[in-house]
Amino acid sequence: MLEFLTRLFSRESSTSKDIAKERLRLVLVHDRAGVSPQLLQALKSELIKVISNYMEIDEQGLEVNLDSSENQVALIANIPIKQMKRLPENIVSGP
Amino acid sequence: MGEVIVVTSGKGGVGKTTTTANLGVGLAALGHKVALIDADIGLRNLDVLLGLENRIVYDLTDVTGGRCRLKQALIKDKHCEGLHLLPASQTKDKTAVNPEEMKKLCQDIAQEFEYVIVDCPAGIEQGFRNAIAGADKAIVVTTPEVAAVRDADRIIGLLEAAELRNPKLIINRFRYKMVQQKDMMSIEDIIDILAVDLLGVVPEDEQVVVSTNKGESVIQDERSRSGQAFRNIVRRIKGEAIPLMNLNQNGMLNKLRRIIGLK
Ligand SMILES: Nc1ncnc2c1ncn2[C@@H]1O[C@H](COP(=O)(O)OP(=O)(O)OP(=O)(O)O)[C@@H](O)[C@H]1O
Ligand SMILES: [Mg+2]
């Protein structure tokens, strides 16, 4: 509840200038790294292929992006899992 | 040998031509010999801003193509002693000139003038490469919007790749009130993101349009705020350390000053 409230409030107080700055920051991380949408899309497809061997994931909800903080660029992936595959041999030794 | 400065932006319509015209008029008003080059081949604009559209006989591609001499193509400004314009051709396409020819042209003009200012077309293609080919220094113009700043970042990268290091930034169409309401990125935000030196901040000002309509430059309007901003930029280009002007146009003191005609 508390978390919900603080989130609500912080979202309300994030001004259009802050949104602009954050969007700009993110788009420049991609521009400067020379990472094209096509490259990210290809990366996504391969990730889905690999991860699907182990678990069932929500392909629509999958997000892969670059982000940066303090001169470090990181690849951030958010991969919602629908279900773990219940095949013990998969988990132990792979497909 | 004069200095060749190119005015770039990436995104279109942010104020390159307006800036070029005003800096030209401002430098000439201080007694310098200035030539402006309209490098926006096919979309000539600078002549209209200066009110010189009826005087064009030859243009840039006539000079590079050897159809006339440089002296014949340079147009003298009406109001401003010492200011000259080399207009762009309106009919040819960008490929009518190449970077080598532009470099040679800039060198030739810089023999005769103290400042040569090149108005760059929008975009990052051939027109851009032509415009920067002969430049010693670069100015990047942006507005405080996401798309414009993004393109400015791209341009800064391309300029540095072309050995035009340390480009200077002009933030145009700045709206103090919106920044105060946190609905527009501030000067600090933009400088922080682009990591370049600031050359000046020009406020959004209807007077720019009024002057343009008349074929005049707002820098000659003593009372306009954008004119003051451009006058400051001119002095910074000359190497003087001029602080940023007060951008708060609605401050009580400024209102009072305007009412009693001090500003
Ligand atoms: N500070 C300002 N306040 C108000 N209007 C402005 C200001 N600066 C520029 N403008 C207006 O914005 C428009 C675009 O300006 P300008 O032609 O100088 O941009 P540009 O970058 O040269 O465009 P292009 O990319 O098409 O060559 C013009 O109508 C001009 O009058
Ligand atoms: Mg222009």
Q: In this complex, which of A15, A16, A28 lies closest to B153 when CB atoms are compared?
A: A28
Cα separation of B190 and B171, whole Å?
Answer: 9
- Region of poorest pLDDT, from A10-24, A44-58, B229-243, B244-258: B244-258
Q: How far is the CA of B172 from the centre of ligand 1 (A)?
A: 9
pLDDT interval class at B248 (50, 70, 90) = confident
Which residue is associated with the tokens 């001004």? A15
Q: Which long-range contacts (CB under 8 A, 24 or more apart) does A79-82 make?
A: A79/A47, A79/A51, A81/A55, A81/A56, A81/A57, A82/A55, A82/A56, A82/A57, A82/A58
Residues B6/B88, Cβ–Cβ less than 8 Å: no
Q: Count Cβ neighbours within 10 Å for each residue of B48-68 and write b for 16 or more, e otherwise.
A: ebbbbbeebebbbbbbbeeee
More confident residue, B95 or B176: B176
For ligand 1, whether the C-beta of B59 sits within 6 Å is no
Residue with tokens 């190449």: B98
Query: Whole domain around residue A21: which residue ranges?
Result: 15-85
Report, as an integer, the average pLDDT of B177-206: 95
pLDDT at residue A3 tops 80: no
Three-state SS at A65? strand
E-strand ranges in B53-196 read 75-76, 83-86, 115-119, 137-142, 168-174
Residues pairing with B39 in the sheet: none
pLDDT band (50, 70, 90) for residue B259: low
C-beta atoms of B146 and A32 within 8 A = no
Q: By mean pLDDT, which of B90-99, B137-146, B208-217, B246-255 is the weakest?
A: B246-255
What integer pLDDT is reported at residue A69 of this predicted model?
78
End-to-end CA distance of chain B: 37
Is B36 a residue whose pLDDT tops 60? yes
Q: Is residue A8 domain-resident? A: no
Residue range B54-82: mean pLDDT, rounded = 95
The answer on pLDDT for B192 being more than 70 is yes
The residue extents of the domains of chain B are 3-259
* A28 interaction partners in chain B (CB closer than 8 Å): 150, 153, 193
- Whether A94 is covered by a domain: the verdict is no
Report which DSSP code applies to B55.
Answer: G
DSSP run (H or E) holding B201:
strand B197-203
For residue B18, what are its two tokens? 């307006």
A91's CB contacts (< 8 A; 6+ apart) are A54, A85
The first and second tokens of residue A65, run together, are 């992006």
Q: Is the pLDDT of residue B38 over 90?
A: yes
Identify whether A58 is part of a domain: yes
Looking at the CA of residue B212, tell me the nearest atom of ligand 1: 31
Q: Is the pLDDT of residue A1 over 70?
A: no
Q: In the predicted model, is pLDDT for residue A88 greater than 90? A: no
Would the CB of B157 count as within 6 Å of ligand 1? Answer: no
CA B7 to ligand 2 center in whole angstroms: 10
Pick the CATH number of B3-259 from 3.30.70.260, 3.40.50.10420, 3.40.50.300, 3.10.20.30: 3.40.50.300
Is residue A2 predicted with pLDDT exceeding 60? no
Q: What is the pLDDT of residue A71?
A: 76
* Residue A25, in any domain of the structure: yes
3-state secondary structure of B7: strand
Confidence of residue A67 (pLDDT cuts 50, 70, 90): confident
For residue B171, pLDDT beyond 90: yes
A28 CA to chain B: closest CA distance, Å?
Answer: 7
The two structure tokens encoding residue B75: 């147009």
Tell me how far the alpha carbon of residue B102 lies from the centroid of ligand 1, in angstroms.
24
Q: Is the pLDDT of residue A79 over 80?
A: yes
Instruction: Tell me, yes or no, whether A92 lies in a domain.
Output: no
- Is the pLDDT higher at B23 or at A68? B23
pTM score: 0.86
Residue B209 CA, closest ligand 1 atom number: 31
CB of B14 within 8 A of CB of B142?
Answer: yes
| B2-21 tens-digit pLDDT | 999 999 998 999 999 999 99
What is the reported pLDDT for B187? 96
The 10 Å Cβ neighbour count of residue B220 is: 17
Q: In total, how many domains does chain A have?
A: 1
Alpha-carbon torsion angle B127, B133, B134, B136, nearest 10: 110
Q: What is the mean pLDDT of chain A?
A: 80
Whole-number pLDDT of residue A85: 74
Q: Which of A15, A27, A31 sits opposite B182 (nearest CB)?
A: A15
* pLDDT, position B256: 62
Q: What is the mean pLDDT of residues B146-167?
A: 96
